[in-house]
Amino acid sequence: MSAPYEATLAWAQAQDAADPLRSFRDEFLIPPHEGRDSHYFCGNSLGLQPRAVRPALSAELDYWGELGVEGHFKGRLPWMDYHEFVRDDLATVVGAQPTEVVAMNTLGVNLHLMMVSFYRPTPERHAILIEAGAFPTDRYAVESQIRFHGYDPTTALIELESDPSSGLISMEAIERVLTEHGSRIALVMLPGIQYRTGQAFDLAGITRLASRHGCMVGFDLAHAVGNMPLQLHDSGADFAIWCSYKYLNSGPGAVGGAFVHERHARTELPRFAGWWGHDKATRFQMGPEFIPTYGADGWQLSNPPILALTPLRVSLEIFRRAGMSRLRAKSLHITGYLEWLVKSQLHDVLQVVTPAEPERRGSQLSIRVLGGRERGRALFEYLMENGIIGDWREPDVIRISPAPLYNRYADCVAFAHTARQWASL
């Protein structure tokens, strides 16, 4: 196959030297392996720690120690409004208006909070559409919501099957299911990127199809946020939720986020109310009536967790400086290079599951080892033993994700060399 790539370390190192984003790697702590940097391809599961996180956390601890409760009103970034300090950068990353996003809770909690408002089943329309093989967070949440409302998941949970040959889900398949079942579907709940295959979905296209049938639309962006440019406002989706510990590099169990389209900013839909979702202007009057803050902030329950939001603030500042367009450009090129290495150097060993079309994927390549699961596990363990850090997803997928903020082209060469070395044993 022809491509503007070469499989040599010298070529990869030349690409790294010419990379306009190369300096950002120095802003992250790279896990070591036998005295050298490991080749870390696991940002799709847990992003690396920005070096600036530790001093930023220390600063907040100092404010706590020096100011006590006055830290809510004093200091460089007063805690009272801390969630607002990430709002603009977060909106830029997901392609939303600032009032449409909020950093709060975790993905699973936010999904349930959103479904309280946007899954409003009736006897005629109470089904939820998800993809078959959905991540357990989504599957468990939607099934429990169906049961909570008194319906039976065996009939009310519709699972969108992938194509048997490719393992991917086409827009045609989505349209067929909506044509057949749309009149009884209350909510379409799909991922931005499918976690096992790495397939990216057309959010705007899905929203148009679902809206045509009167369905609410939500997206789980766990594997898409910080990975691909998103245009959530323009997509027209009703809501979206995400975590921040993958490509957003905000630490294990980091604060998640939610998007609520501006048309719902003053919604009459029910919600689970909390004090911090109350209108900011009158919040401290402690009145008995809940008056929601305009926009996504109105879904907050509690005051912001400062020490948990600090890593997100640091990471989003890095994203602001790098720019999503430049990150996407490198992601396309370096992921394309990794794919080329697999297909040109390892075609007799590995199969790429992720779509070949660049617009249908992010940084992640999902790879199967020819010969079955046991060979796949053997390769995965060999890679890990040799400092190539990816992750394994049952039943038989190795996920390798070159994150543009800190991965190098040389990392891709190391992966291909190590995989070939294993195949030669």
CATH number, domain with residue 194: 3.40.640.10
pLDDT more than 90, % of the chain: 97
* Residue 392 lies inside a defined structural domain of this protein: yes
- The whole-angstrom separation of Cα 43 and Cα 221 is 14
Confidence of residue 2 (pLDDT cuts 50, 70, 90): very low
Does residue 68 form part of some domain?
no
112/125 Cα distance (integer angstroms): 19
Altogether, the residues listed in the chain come to a count of: 425
Rounded CA-CA distance 368/242 in Å is: 27
Which of 305, 320, 335 is where one domain is finished? 320
| Count helices and strands in the chain by DSSP H and E runs | 13, 15
Sorting pLDDT into bands at 50, 70 and 90, what band is 1? very low
Report the run of H or E that residue 338 belongs to, with start and end.
helix 324-345
pLDDT tens digits, one per residue of 40-80:
999 999 999 999 999 999 999 999 999 999 999 998 999 99
Tens of pLDDT, residue by residue over 272-281, are 999 999 999 9
The pairing of beta strand 239-242 with beta strand 257-260: antiparallel
Establish if 283 belongs to a structural domain: yes
Mark which of 320, 346, 370 sits at the end of a domain.
320
| Contact by Cβ (8 Å): 397, 196 | yes
328 and 313 assigned to the same domain: no
Q: Once rounded to an integer, what is the mean pLDDT over residues 339-361? A: 97
Does residue 72 sit within a domain?
no
- Cα 330 to Cα 314: distance, rounded to the nearest angstrom: 21
Q: Are 274 and 411 found together in one domain?
A: no
pLDDT digits (tens, 9 = 90+) for 179-235: 999 999 999 999 999 999 999 999 999 999 999 999 999 999 999 999 999 999 999
Strand order in the sheet with 391-393: 350-352, 365-369, 397-400, 391-393
- How far is the CA of 180 from the CAs of 156, 162, 213, 402, 411, in angstroms? 14, 16, 10, 39, 46
What is the span of the domain harbouring residue 386? 9-50+323-423
* DSSP-derived secondary structure letter, 203: H
* Tokens describing residue 385: 């033993």
Residue 336 has pLDDT above 60, yes or no: yes
Q: Indicate the residue among 257, 286, 320 that finishes a domain.
A: 320
| Whether residues 315 and 330 fall in one domain | no
- The closest alpha carbon to 155, from 185, 179, 115, belongs to 185
Tokens of 363: 């940084």
pLDDT score recorded for residue 267: 86
- Whether 269 has a pLDDT exceeding 80, the answer reads yes
Task: Give the mean model confidence (pLDDT) for residues 96-119.
Answer: 98
User: 372 in the Ramachandran plot: left (φ > 0), alpha (ψ -120 to 50) or beta?
Assistant: left
Burial category of 107 from C-beta neighbours within 10 Å (exposed 0-12, middle 13-18, buried 19 and up): buried
Contacts with 55 (C-beta within 8 Å, 6 or more apart), sequence order: none
Q: How much is the pTM? A: 0.96
Look up the CATH number of the domain holding residue 27: 3.90.1150.10
Do residues 291 and 331 share a domain?
no
What is the domain count for the chain? 2
Alpha-carbon dihedral angle through residues 11, 12, 18, 20, given to the nearest 10 degrees: 160
